[in-house]
A and B are shown apart, each in its own frame.
Chain A
Amino acid sequence: MSDETTTGLSHRKLLIWVFLGSDCMFFASLIGTYLIYKGSGVLHPGPADVFDIPTTSVSTFVLLMSSMSMVFAYAYLVRDDIKAFRIWMFSTIIMGSTFLGFQVFEFSEFYFHDDLSPQTNLFGTTFYALTGTHGLHVTIGVIWLGIIFYSSLFRNTVTSKTNLDLDLAALYWHFVDIVWIVIFAVVYLFGTFTGFPSS
C-alpha cells in the first residue's frame, strides 16, 4: 500500500484522535455517575472524611510535570538528540510511576485506615471505580512509554524518523493527564470544600 493519505495525516495519528474522542465519553459517563451519586447514601465515610488534599495535590503536580517532561522528550527526539530524549523519557516514566505509587498509597490508606472499600457505600463504589479506571489508563501509559524506552535503550530503534510512535504515546499521555485534572477538581476539591453541596 502506498504511504500517501488523503489528508496528509498518518492513519495512526487519526486513529489515536478518534480513540481519545471515544475515551472522552467513557470518562464522561463515569464522572457523570459519580456526580449523580454525590451526596446520596447516608453511610460514612464520605469525601470530606478521607481526602487529604495536600498529598493528592503533590501527586497531581507530579503527573502535570510528567506531561511537561513528555513534551521535552518529544522535542529532543525530533532533533535526534537521543541522549536527552532518553533522560526526559526516563523522567516521564518515573513521574508516571510516582503518581501510581501515590494512588496505591492513597487507596490502601482509605481501605485500611478509613474503612472505605468499594462495598462500603455509594461514595466508595463510585470513587474507586472512577479513580481506579484512571489509574488503569496511567498504568497502560507507563507500560507503553516503557516499551518505547526499552526499544531506544536496547535496540536503538527510536529515532526522529519514528517520532510518530512517540507522538501517539504522548497524545495519550497528555489526555490521561487532562482527565486527571478534571477528576481532581470534581472529586477531590469540590468534594471537600465546605459550603459546597456534598455529604
Chain B
Amino acid sequence: MTTIPFKLPLNIKLYRPVSPTGVWGWLTTVDHKKIGVLYGVTAFIMFLTGGIEAMLIRTQLIAPELKIIAPEVYNQLFTMHATTMIFLAIMPLSAAFFNFIIPLQIGARDVAFPRLNAFSYWAFLAGALIMKSSWFLGGSPNAGWFGYAPITTATFNPGNGIDFWIIGLQVLGVASLAASFNFIVTIINLRAPGMTMMRLPLFTWMTFITAILLILAFPVITVALIELMLDRTFDFNFFNTKAGANPILWQHLFWIFGHPEVYILILPAMGIVSEVLPTFSRKPIFGYPAMVLAASFIAFMGWLVWSHHMFTTGLGPIANSVFTLTTMLIAIPTGVKMFNWLGTMWGGDIDFKTPTLFAVGFMSMFLIGGISGVMHSFSASDYQQQDTYFIVAHIHYVLFGGSIFGIFAGIYYWFPKITGRMYDEKLGKLNFWIMFIGQNLTFFPMHWVGMQGMPRRIFTYDSGMGWAFWNGFETIAAYAIAFGVLIFVINMIKSWTGGKKAGDDPWDGRTLEWSIPSPPPVYNFRDIPIVKSLDDFWHTKQKSSNSNTKVKSKTKVSDIHLPQPSYWPLLVAVGLTIAGFGIIYNLVFTGIGIGIMLITVCAWSFEPVNEPDSH
C-alpha cells in the first residue's frame, strides 16, 4: 500500500493512505457510497438483533404465567429491543440512504465533509457496540428506552446497565449530529447548477428537514443524559428527589427530544415513499410544494406537543387541553401528505412491483397508526390507554408498518442502483405479503388487549385475565414476520451475488441517480448535470426519446479530483469508544480516550482533503 506524507506543526511527518484496497479500503474510505453500504449492512444486522429480542419477548408472552425468561431479563429485553430498533436500526438505515442517495440526487460527487461522514459511521458503530456489549458485560439497561429518572439513578438502579445505555446513546448522538451537520451543508451547498431548493427531489427535502430536527433535538437529550451521568458517576443532584429534585424534569427534557425524534424516524420513510409512488405510477408527485410545506409544518409543530407523553403526570387541565389541541393539529399536514400520495397514484399507470407494494403498505399502516395516535392525543381518553398494549399497537403501526415498510420500499427501489443487480421479484412480493399480514395479525389484536387493560412491560399475566388467546395468536403472527424477514435476507444475498444485471435505469426513474451507471462510479457524475426543472432527468428522457444519441462526455476521468482516504475518522472514533468505556469502568481510560481524540483531531485538521500533487 502506498502512502504519502503530510506535515504537522512541530514538524512531525505523518503518512496518509493512497487508494488502499481490501479491508484497508473500507477502514479508510471517505466515499459516501461505501459509507452508505457500511451503514446499511451494520444497521440491518442491528435490526436482526433487535428482532431476536422481540421474538424472545413474544415467546415469553405466548401463554400466561410462563417462566421462560426471568423478569429481570425481560426488562432488559424490552429496553434493548426499543433502543436497538430506534437508534441502531431505523435511524442508521435512514442514514444509509442519506449517504448513498443524497449526493446522487443533487448531482454532487460526494458530501461536503467526506471525512466527517466516515467519522459518523465509525462513531455509530462504536455506539452500537457499546450498547450491545452490555449483554455480555453484566447486564443490559432495564428501564425502558426512555430511561425515566429518578428510576434510572444509582439509588434505584445500581449496576452498569444504565451506564451502558447513557454512554451508548451519547456516542450515537455524536454520530447523528456529525452526520446531520454534514447533510445540511451538503444539501444547501453542493447542489448541481439549476437545482434550486424547490427542484430538490422529495427524499432530499425530507432528509434536510430530518437533519434540522436532529441537530435541534439531540442536544436536549444530550444534556439530559449528561445530567443523569453526573448524578450516577459523581453524585450530582439533578434527579435526587431527597434534595428536592423534580421527578418529571427528565420526562420534559426527554420528550422535548422524543417527539421530534418520532419525525426523525418517519420523515425519511415518507421521503422514500414520495420517490417510489411517482416512479411506479408514471406521474409526477401530486402537490410538490404542499408536500414540502406540510413536512415543514409537521417539523415545526413537533416541538409543541411533547407533553402528550405526560398527560397522566398531572400537569393540570389547561396544559392537557393545550397539548391535546396542538397534537391534533398535526393530523392536518399529515392528512395533506396522505391525500397527495393518493393524488399521485390516482389515474396513474401503476406498476405493482415490490417497492410499490411496500409504499402502499406504508400508507395504509401509517394511516391506522395515525388514527390510533389521534385517539390518545385526546388527553381524556389517553388516561385509559396510557401504558397499555394499545400504545404498543400504535407505535408498531407507525414504526414497523410505517418506518420499516418505507425503508424496505427504499431498499427494493434502490437495490438495482446500489448493487447493479436486480432483486428477485417473486421473493420480494412474497416477503411483502408475509410481512404485511404478519404485521396486522401481530399488532392489531394488541389494540383489543390494550383496551381490556393489559399493561405494557410486564413479563407475564394471569390466566384469568382473558388475554391468553390473543397473546398466543400475536406470538405466532410475530414468528410469521420473522419468516418474512428471513425471505428478505435470502433475496438480498441471492440477488447481490447472482441477480441479473439491472442496467442504469430499470424503473424509468425521474431523479438524477438513475442517469448514471449502476453501481455508480466513484466520481458519480462524469459531468456535473445542469438542472432545468423538477424531475429534470425524466423530462430530458422524454425529449430525447426520438433521437437515441447520447452526448459524449468531454471530461477526462483522471481530471476528477476526489477526496482521499484517511485513517483519522476511524482513530477518533476509537478514542471516543475508549473514553466511553472509561466512564463506565475507570476514569483513567476516559483521560486516555480524550487524549487520543485530541491528537487525532489535530492530525485530521492538518491533513489536507486531497493532495494536489498526488495526481
Residues on A facing B (Cβ under 8 Å): 1, 5-7, 9, 11, 14-15, 18-19, 21-23, 25-26, 28-30, 32-33, 36-37, 40-43, 118-119, 121-122, 124-126, 129, 147, 150-151, 154-155
Contact = CB atoms under 8 A, between A and B. Distances in A.
9 contacts: A1-B109, A6-B189, A11-B113, A22-B218, A29-B222, A42-B244, A119-B235, A119-B236, A125-B243
A36 B246 contact: yes
A11 B243 contact: no
Please provide the 7 A-B residue pairs with the shortest distance between their CB atoms, ordered closest to farther: A41-B244, A29-B223, A26-B219, A25-B219, A22-B215, A125-B237, A11-B112
A129 B231 CA distance: 11
Contacts of A18: 181, 184-185, 215
A22 B610 contact: no
A30 B223 contact: yes
Contact of A33 (B184, B249, B602): B249
Given A15-B112, A22-B177, A29-B224, 8 more contacts: A9-B189, A14-B184, A15-B113, A33-B238, A40-B245, A43-B243, A119-B237, A129-B236
B609 interface: yes
Contacts of B181: 15, 18-19, 22
Contact of B227 (A9, A22, A26, A129): A129
Contacts of A29: 219-220, 222-224, 253, 256
A7 B246 contact: no
B562 interface: yes
Contacts of B426: none
B237 A26 contact: no
Contact of A26 (B195, B222, B234, B243): B222
Contacts of B252: 36
Interface string B226-250: 1100100011111000011110010
Given A21-B216, A23-B219, A37-B246, A155 B189 contact: no
B211 to A, nearest CB: 9
Nearest to A126: B238
Interface of B: 9, 109-110, 112-113, 177, 181, 184-185, 188-191, 195, 215-220, 222-224, 226-227, 230, 234-238, 243-246, 249, 252-253, 256, 561-563, 602, 609-610
Q: Which of A1, A32, A36 has the most CB of B within 10 A?
A: A1
Contacts of A36: 246, 249, 252
Could you say which of A7, A18, A26, A122 has the most chain B C-beta atoms within 10 Å of its C-beta? Answer: A18
Nearest to A31: B223
Contacts of B234: 118-119
Nearest to B222: A26
A147 B610 CA distance: 22
Contacts of A43: 243
Contact of A122 (B215, B237, B256): B237
A126 B244 CA distance: 13
A118 B224 contact: no
A33 B112 contact: no
A22 B219 contact: yes
B216 A22 contact: yes
Nearest to B239: A125
B227 A15 contact: no
Contacts of A155: 9
A124 B236 CA distance: 9
A121 to B, nearest CB: 6
B9 A151 contact: yes
Contacts of A32: 253
B252 to A, nearest CB: 8
Nearest to A132: B230
Given A18-B215, A25-B216, A29-B223, A7 B236 contact: no
A74 B226 CA distance: 35
Contact of A14 (B188, B219, B561): B188
